A = this chain, B = another copy of it.
């Protein structure tokens, strides 16, 4: 497994594809443009969802726009992805997902049949995830602008009592638990996009993770934070956690599950699975004494069958992520610098 070497980036005066990667450039845009303007303590926590108190209710609130290309892929489509993505951001905040909004930006000339298929897929995904789509919006842009359809979903969840999850709560010694294999979503998209035929077909892992989260909280409240490693992959997610908590994180290569077909496609395409997007996996940072129980509980859930402790907080400089490789060497796992795979979600 190779590790992407970050190259220093010049100050940019225009938006680059990499600004949407979930990696370093995304973080820069957030730090330089959005945070100074919108400055407030909730946004400043930089979690994937806002924790709100409103009218006595403890809510989680999160938004995501989906611009995935192609719109249909093995294992899902932009509609199911848009539901799963927002359900998961709520679930990662320890909230019960409840309500979604759905806003469509359609391109003139987009086949109504495809729209119907996407909307049906959203409805099915929402029903299975137990969330209700309660409000929406549709805009249309001229042919040649947009890409068929972009979807924004924004979600409201009800936070669990007594649970506070945040990426700044990790302490040295905490276990890093990953729910399963890496890279399936990104590779599925890329195969579809490039017309790549693999010996074994790779399906997106796109799925709603909230019942897996329920299974975790059924055994312990001792979870520091949870994240779904989507854009920028596991590497970027762990770097964000390390940065926010000011701890080092060490992961162990031999504990990572990467399916042969995914590994093969990544080698062929020069991608590093650590940086490839997942849409149905979670990383939990867990107090060490609870880690065994969490893994056991996750393995009994269909979406957590390959759950494992893949690392530990500590053993690296504060704010950094390193990997002990199968060969016994140690490598720095930096945040994604540019963009391996634009338009992945």
Contact = CB atoms under 8 A, between A and B. Distances in A.
A43 B133 contact: yes
A126 interface: yes
A266 interface: no
Contact of A116 (B33, B66, B99): B33
A80 to B, nearest CB: 13
B108 A64 contact: no
Contacts of A145: 145-147
7 contacts: A17-B108, A42-B132, A50-B101, A56-B56, A140-B342, A142-B342, A142-B343
A65 B15 CA distance: 20
Interface in A3-18: 12-18
Interface stretch (A117-125, A184-192, A281-289): A117-125
Interface of A: 12-21, 26, 29-30, 33-34, 37-38, 40, 42-43, 49-50, 52, 54-59, 61-67, 98-99, 101-113, 115-116, 119-120, 122-123, 126, 132-142, 145-147, 150, 152, 154, 156, 158, 342-343
A55 B136 contact: no
Nearest to A158: B55
A102 B61 CA distance: 11
Contacts of A115: 15, 33
A50 B141 contact: no
A57 B52 CA distance: 12
Contact of A59 (B55, B110, B136): B55
Nearest to A38: B133
B136 A38 contact: yes
Contacts of A65: 103-105, 137, 139, 152
Contact of A54 (B50, B57, B122, B135): B57
A122 to B, nearest CB: 7
A115 B66 CA distance: 20
A119 B34 contact: yes
